[in-house]
A and B are shown apart, each in its own frame.
Chain A
Amino acid sequence: MNDTIKGRVSRRRLLNWAAALGALMTLPARAWATGSRPETAFDATALDQALMALGQTPTRHEGVIFTTPDIAENGAVVPIRVEVDQTVLPNVSKVSVLVEMNPNPLAAVFDIAPGTEVYIETRVKVAQTGNLYAVVESDGQLFMASRETKVTLGGCGG
């Protein structure tokens, strides 16, 4: 990471930032429709509940390309990637990531602007071995892919 900047924020920058946040609130409405935070889905304590709260039961679709490790070195940090084959799933506006065995399965929802690739990388916590789900919204319909990730115990006192 050579090309980085420090984010320590001076008062002046903070003011700039407040302006940016203002812009963030108003701009998207003009450019594209971002969803509000799906609180009910985040509060859900079971996978079915969380999926229901996202709108409808998603259909499995090969166009959702979901990459997770088969075995994670540690459950606290599990790298994941969600991509979509846009020739079969066009106009994707939303990507959600769920972890079946977590106390609250919904981990993250990404609102995608038109022109943004459907390509999300992040790292999530996985409480124990189980399925991870990627759910995408394409033309108002929900599609998903799932993958099992094994979470392993550490060595000496695990």
Chain B
Amino acid sequence: MRRQSDDAMTLYRFVMMIPRWWLLLLMVVPALADEGIFDQYRDLMGDDNPAIFVIDEGEEFWVQSQGPSAVTLEACDLGLGAGVTRGAYAQFPRYFADTDRVMDIETRLLYCMETLQGRDREVIAAKPYSLRGDFGTELEALVTWLAAESEGMTIAPEQAHPKERAMYAMGEEIFFYRAGPHDFSCATCHEQSNKRIRLQQLPNLTEHTEVAEAYGSWPAYRMSQGLVRTMGWRLQDCFRQQRWPGLIFGSEVSIALQTYMAVNAAGGVMTAPGLKR
């Protein structure tokens, strides 16, 4: 008891010692600590997003003849019929009868490169994303262009097929699965609203509005890397930071988590490519 009141007295004295300008500061700091901390930075940045180059590059890859078959990807069926690109991104992940599995847009593109162009899937899957020092990959460019082809459209992943619904259910289980030396799951950082890691705002991926904004802004130009990154990369890098082993490109876990996010985001709007730190 004694101890407690001493502490209270110390605290009281301490507060009384604070000069007036300091109190003003106390009012300013919480404001800075809020979401608006980078508003000034963002205002000065404007909206000139270097991803605009990557969109063009993706479109050029789409119409470029490649592989042993020397054909373009223009006959690729992204779910809306052969060659239909407008709005296709917004409906992924989805079930495809020709492969009898749920696919995200990245694995679907690899499927088209393999089946239409005759290219070796393994070679592309071995390095889908840029490494340090690279200036973008074909897959990153294609995904960026296709996301731009869905800009302004409603996020509407298919959930009609049982395999699509099973994928969602699995994604939800994985989202909360804790493992590794740090006991981290996706939920560790992404099941609460209004939280930050360091100064980065963390989207609550279990909440519709926030997951829609987050999911709809990928792929995104990452200023820290000078590259456009895709959702598939985003998941790989999350698991690296979760101290988990390496997430395999196009794996069930990757597609399940994308399904979980896309369905939670359904009804939101595609704004990609985003501009992120």
Give the B-binding residues of A (Cβ under 8 A): 1, 4, 6, 67-74, 76-81, 123, 152-158
Taking CB atoms, residues of chain B closer than 8 Å to A80 are: 44
Contact flags B33-50 to A (C-beta < 8 A → 1, else 0): 000011011101110100
- Across-interface contacts of B40 in A (CB, < 8 A): 69-71
Q: B197 to A69, Cβ gap below 8 A?
A: no
Bound together, the chains give a CA A77 to CA B277 distance in angstroms of 8
Contact with A along B192-211 (1 / 0, CB 8 A): 00000111100000000000
Q: Which residues of A contact B197 (CB under 8 A)?
A: 155-156
A70: chain B residues at CB < 8 Å are 40
CB distance B224 to A76 under 8 Å?
A: yes
- Would you call B41 and A4 a contact (CB within 8 A)? no
B-to-A contact residues, CB < 8 Å: 37-38, 40-42, 44-46, 48, 52, 56, 189, 197-200, 223-226, 240-242, 277
In chain A, what residue has the closest Cβ to B38? Answer: A73
Residue of B40, B225, B242 with most chain A CB atoms under a 10 A cut-off: B40
The interface residues of chain B lying within 8 Å CB-to-CB of A156 are 189, 197, 241-242
Residues of B within 8 A of A81 (CB): 44
Question: Which among A69, A153, A154, A158 is the interface contact of B44 at CB below 8 angstroms?
Answer: A69
Bound CA–CA A67/B52 (angstroms): 26
Known: A69-B40, A69-B41, A79-B44. A154 touches B226 (CB 8 A): no
Chain B residues near A4 (CB-CB < 8 A):
52
A-B contact pairs, 14 of them (CB 8 A): A67-B44, A68-B44, A69-B38, A69-B44, A72-B41, A73-B41, A73-B199, A76-B224, A77-B223, A78-B41, A79-B45, A79-B46, A81-B44, A156-B242
Choose among A68, A76, A77, A152 the residue that contacts B198 (Cβ–Cβ < 8 A).
A152
Bound state CA distance, A74 and B225, in angstroms? 10
Most buried by A among B37, B40, B41, B42: B41
Q: How far is the CB of A120 from chain B (nearest CB, A)?
A: 13
Q: Which secondary structure dominates where chain A touches chain B?
A: loop
> Are B223 and A74 in contact, CB atoms less than 8 angstroms apart?
yes
Extra pairs beyond A69-B40, A76-B223, A155-B200 (20, CB < 8 Å)? A1-B48, A4-B52, A6-B56, A68-B44, A69-B41, A69-B44, A73-B199, A73-B223, A74-B224, A76-B225, A79-B44, A80-B44, A81-B44, A152-B198, A154-B200, A155-B198, A155-B241, A156-B197, A156-B242, A157-B240
Question: Which of B42, B48, B200 has most A Cβ within 10 Å?
Answer: B200
Residue from A71, A76, A156, A157 having most chain B Cβ neighbours under 10 A: A156
Q: State how many angstroms separate the Cβ of B224 from the closest Cβ of chain A.
A: 5
Question: Which of A6, A68, A80, A154 has the most CB atoms of chain B within a 10 A radius of its CB?
Answer: A154
Contact B198 A153 (CB under 8 A): yes
Cβ of B37: which chain A residues have Cβ within 8 Å of it? 71
Is B44 a contact partner of A76 (Cβ separation < 8 A)? no
A71: B residues at CB distance < 8 A = 37-38, 40-41, 199
- Min Cβ gap A9→B in Å is 14
CB pair A73 B46 closer than 8 Å:
no
Residue of B nearest to A77 (CB): B223
A82 to chain B, nearest CB (A): 12
Contact assessment for B226 and A76 in the assembled complex, using a CB-CB cutoff below 8 Å? yes
CA gap between A81 and B199 in the complex, in Å: 24
Q: List chain A residues, Cβ under 8 A from B38.
A: 69, 71, 73
